[in-house]
Chain A
Amino acid sequence: MLAAVSRVLSGVAQKPASRVLVASRHFANDATFEIKKCDLHRLEEGPPVTTVLTREDGLKYYRMMQTVRRMELKADQLYKQKIIRGFCHLCDGQEACCVGLEAGINPTDHLITAYRAHGFTFTRGLSVREILAELTGRRGGCAKGKGGSMHMYAKNFYGGNGIVGAQVPLGAGIALACKYNGKDEVCLTLYGDGAANQGQIFEAYNMAALWKLPCIFICENNRYGMGTSVERAAASTDYYKRGDFIPGLRVDGMDILCVREATKFAAAYCRSGKGPILMELQTYRYHGHSMSDPGVSYRTREEIQEVRSKSDPIMLLKDRMVNSNLASVEELKEIDVEVRKEIEDAAQFATADPEPPLEELGYHIYCNDPPFEVRGANQWIKFKSIS
């Protein structure tokens, strides 16, 4: 209560009068919600079916999801203005996955995913400025402008990988390092429903199970691998069972609380040394596969609309919070406004920042000391390669 009042007093003058009303309203501290039971494979018990959400956490998740959503929409806008070039894979609709996973693990845990990585880059700790600047290829970007949409990295976040399925054995390797270092860390290894048919994933399952690696394999099933629906691509669409000897959970990926509880459960499972576990997050993406895909040639607009109106993750969280008096509509609207402003500023920065200098073209090809010269497009163009 006092916090609310002080917030008002320290607030900026132009805040509307309704703010005072908001601040003086009494909110619940937390609320208990029922969540959908997860389907289980080779598990006796699953994650709990009820969970407690505190007001603080709720606001935090709402803000994060809204930031990811607005960031992706801004990236869409910038791409259409040709400020972002190349390839751009957006994850709006899948916000509950990235925010929910982050809520269930510690910052010291590790995460690796494929190319639909903007949301994870944000939840793993990078700022929107750095992400948008990387998309526009400027030096303020997280990979110094050389990586682009598919190659974003952060502490304990290993990308951002272009080749489908190739990141899964990498994730198993990171899990091995976690086990070896003995610091009780786990590795979340994500892949999509399309990648689930790649051979190297099964190789990784085998190694992880054989050596009991603390690896959580997560299949983000958004029902379409590019333009191919899961029924047309997979003999078994029960992706959580595809690990066979690895226990699995099927989770409602549009409900952030469900994702959070399942992640906590899976992380606890791995940390106890029982070996790997598989999670299938059933989610949906509103955009097409990438910006060059309209996204409506293989699915109907009605389907997209239906998911948007019934299962939108942000809407679900908002309804829950408002209905159980954890927050008010005005408060959440205010968060929307703040997020919008933050994204605008970041986009401004991303557009105005200069591109990396040409001298850096050859950097970081190898790790080398002293620097050596690399040939460019013809033998007389030389770039220094410093690392």
Chain B
Amino acid sequence: MAAVAAFAGWLLRLRAAGADGPWRRLCGAGLSRGFLQSASAYGAAAQRRQVAHFTFQPDPEPVEYGQTQKMNLFQAVTSALDNSLAKDPTAVIFGEDVAFGGVFRCTVGLRDKYGKDRVFNTPLCEQGIVGFGIGIAVTGATAIAEIQFADYIFPAFDQIVNEAAKYRYRSGDLFNCGSLTIRSPWGCVGHGALYHSQSPEAFFAHCPGIKVVVPRSPFQAKGLLLSCIEDKNPCIFFEPKILYRAAVEQVPVEPYNIPLSQAEVIQEGSDVTLVAWGTQVHVIREVAAMAQEKLGVSCEVIDLRTILPWDVDTVCKSVIKTGRLLVSHEAPLTGGFASEISSTVQYYRTQGHVPNKAKRWNLKKGLLQGSSKENGHLLLKMFCMTGQRIQRTKC
């Protein structure tokens, strides 16, 4: 509750700071130090240790894909893998400890059903696993590799970036490893510390040739994973590990696809666009509800879903409508993917695609009024490029 409260509290504090206070200091060249230091007034509150929580918000039961069943995230992943192995006779699943079901139980029952030739363990060697997977994919078979935790993906970074991503290009489309999908548990879980909590999507976003996908729920996970497996490009599918058990939803039993590179507008709004992916989507949904209730702010919530290549159009269209953008992610701020989103939106704004209208808060009435171009410019800068990380104390 507190992280959500902190987020909303931050919105409140900005409003309380007054349209004149910090904004005036911003007039002139760019963001001044005064802007950043204004928070010291709220220093004590900001420094307080935050126990984070989020509440998983399930989507309504989908009706267009046939019969559904209650599943959590790891069961949805198992279902997707089951569908893939059934449909595609060349599909194989491999990784550390996948044979008995995996450390998060994502592959339970698959070895018994499809045989030990199709679901098998590898030794402890991430670079070997991905390199091996690229080899399988190059011959045309479907390779679904698991890296036990996203924190361990770095020995395989060279294989992914230098081999998998560039195979099609460097061979002039003669060869490709498009049938490779790498699945990995991702994101903070509370007690993971340095090596069981990382969100490395930004490292991979820097590399053309691969696709990076992060689902927010079981229904999304199954559809997106099936799309990744069928996609003719090497894909990395990050599964928020904290949602493996916490997220429960009605998920169709039959296979279905959710298109990649399409962001989803979960909730329409008119005052500010909130963008997130994975676990954070549930945090900002709660924030949107709080903002509506307490501040009368109508937030448009977007789940980015595919990090690379990302859906620029949906996000820009939304910012055209609202005039403000806020991006939230678990990964570190500096160089995090939010910086890419905000700079792209800024670019389109300077090109005139995103008009320079922005609205100013009216403190007393909580209503928005038209304002000068200058204030609009400053507000957009203000709201761009923030990232929040869930801080956890005990859990």
Q: Is the CB of A162 within 8 A of B195?
A: yes
Instruction: Using CB atoms, name the residue of chain A closest to B394.
Output: A85
Residue-wise, chain A 117-153 has the 8 Å CB interface mask toward B (1 for contact) of: 0000000000000000000000000000000101100
A60 is an interface residue with CB less than 8 A from chain B:
no
Taking CB atoms, residues of chain A closer than 8 Å to B240 are none
Taking CB atoms, residues of chain B closer than 8 Å to A197 are 123-125, 128
Residue-wise, chain B 134-161 has the 8 Å CB interface mask toward A (1 for contact) of: 0000000000000000011001000000
Q: Is the CB of A199 within 8 A of B194?
A: no
B387 is an interface residue with CB less than 8 A from chain A:
yes
Q: Is the CB of B193 within 8 A of A86?
A: yes
List CB contacts (< 8 Å) of A178-229 with chain B.
194-195, 197-200, 225-228
Instruction: Using CB atoms, name the residue of chain B closest to A195.
Output: B124
Given contacts A148-B193, A226-B97, A358-B49, contact A377 B121 (CB under 8 A): no
Residue-wise, chain A 349-379 has the 8 Å CB interface mask toward B (1 for contact) of: 0000000001000000000000000011111
B39-47, B260-268, B339-347, B370-378: which lies at the interface: B39-47
CB distance from B22 to the nearest CB of A (A): 11
CB distance from A10 to the nearest CB of B (A): 47
- Number of CB contacts from chain A to chain B under 8 A: 83
A13 is an interface residue with CB less than 8 A from chain B:
no
Given contacts A85-B394, A86-B191, A200-B155, contact A377 B124 (CB under 8 A): no
Taking CB atoms, residues of chain B closer than 8 Å to A164 are 124, 152
**Most chain A CB inside 10 Å of its own CB: which residue of B125, B151, B394:** B125
A234 is an interface residue with CB less than 8 A from chain B:
yes
A28 is an interface residue with CB less than 8 A from chain B:
no
CB distance from A245 to the nearest CB of B (A): 21
Residue-wise, chain A 157-177 has the 8 Å CB interface mask toward B (1 for contact) of: 000001111000000000000
Taking CB atoms, residues of chain B closer than 8 Å to A162 are 194-195
List CB contacts (< 8 Å) of A72-112 with chain B.
85-87
List CB contacts (< 8 Å) of B1-56 with chain A.
3, 6-7, 10, 36, 39, 42, 46-47, 49-50
Instruction: Using CB atoms, name the residue of chain A closest to B192.
Output: A86
A233 is an interface residue with CB less than 8 A from chain B:
yes
A214–B196 alpha-carbon span in the complex (Å): 34
List CB contacts (< 8 Å) of B362-395 with chain A.
386-391, 394
A310 is an interface residue with CB less than 8 A from chain B:
no
Taking CB atoms, residues of chain A closer than 8 Å to B194 are 151, 162
B356 is an interface residue with CB less than 8 A from chain A:
no
A199–B123 alpha-carbon span in the complex (Å): 11
A376–B196 alpha-carbon span in the complex (Å): 19
CB distance from A234 to the nearest CB of B (A): 7
List CB contacts (< 8 Å) of A211-258 with chain B.
225-228, 232-234
Q: Is the CB of A199 within 8 A of B125?
A: yes
The 8 Å CB contact of A379, one of B128, B192, B386, is B386
B333 is an interface residue with CB less than 8 A from chain A:
yes
The 8 Å CB contact of A380, one of B42, B125, B192, B196, is B42
A381 is an interface residue with CB less than 8 A from chain B:
yes
A162–B100 alpha-carbon span in the complex (Å): 24
Taking CB atoms, residues of chain B closer than 8 Å to A86 are 191-193
The 8 Å CB contact of B333, one of A150, A226, A375, is A375
Q: Is the CB of A379 within 8 A of B195?
A: no
Taking CB atoms, residues of chain B closer than 8 Å to A199 are 125, 127-128, 155
Residue-wise, chain B 177-216 has the 8 Å CB interface mask toward A (1 for contact) of: 0000000000000011111100000000000000000000
**Most chain A CB inside 10 Å of its own CB: which residue of B96, B151, B193, B333:** B193
Q: Is the CB of A85 within 8 A of B191?
A: yes
A73–B198 alpha-carbon span in the complex (Å): 30
Given contacts A85-B394, A162-B194, A199-B155, contact A380 B121 (CB under 8 A): no
Q: Is the CB of B46 within 8 A of A163?
A: no
The 8 Å CB contact of A227, one of B97, B386, B388, is B97
Q: Is the CB of A377 within 8 A of B50?
A: yes
Residue-wise, chain B 296-317 has the 8 Å CB interface mask toward A (1 for contact) of: 0000000000000000000000
A18–B1 alpha-carbon span in the complex (Å): 62
**Most chain B CB inside 10 Å of its own CB: which residue of A151, A228, A232, A381:** A381
The 8 Å CB contact of A225, one of B50, B124, B192, B196, is B124
Q: Is the CB of A198 within 8 A of B124?
A: yes
Q: Is the CB of A380 within 8 A of B46?
A: yes
CB distance from A181 to the nearest CB of B (A): 30
A379–B196 alpha-carbon span in the complex (Å): 24
Instruction: Using CB atoms, name the residue of chain A closest to B333.
Output: A375
Q: Is the CB of A163 within 8 A of B10?
A: no
Q: Is the CB of B124 within 8 A of A379?
A: no
Taking CB atoms, residues of chain A closer than 8 Å to B128 are 197, 199
Query: Which residues of A does B touch, CB under 8 Å?
Result: 85-87, 148, 150-151, 162-165, 194-195, 197-200, 225-228, 232-234, 297-298, 358, 375-382
18 residue pairs of the A-B complex, CB under 8 angstroms, read A86-B192, A87-B193, A151-B194, A163-B152, A163-B195, A164-B124, A194-B124, A225-B123, A225-B124, A228-B97, A233-B123, A234-B123, A358-B47, A377-B390, A378-B386, A378-B387, A379-B39, A379-B333
Top-8 shortest CB links A-B: A380-B39, A197-B123, A377-B389, A162-B195, A194-B124, A381-B46, A233-B123, A86-B191
What 16 new A-B contacts, CB under 8 Å, besides A227-B97, A233-B124, A379-B36? A85-B191, A86-B191, A87-B191, A163-B195, A197-B123, A197-B124, A198-B155, A199-B128, A225-B124, A226-B96, A227-B100, A228-B123, A298-B100, A376-B46, A379-B39, A381-B47
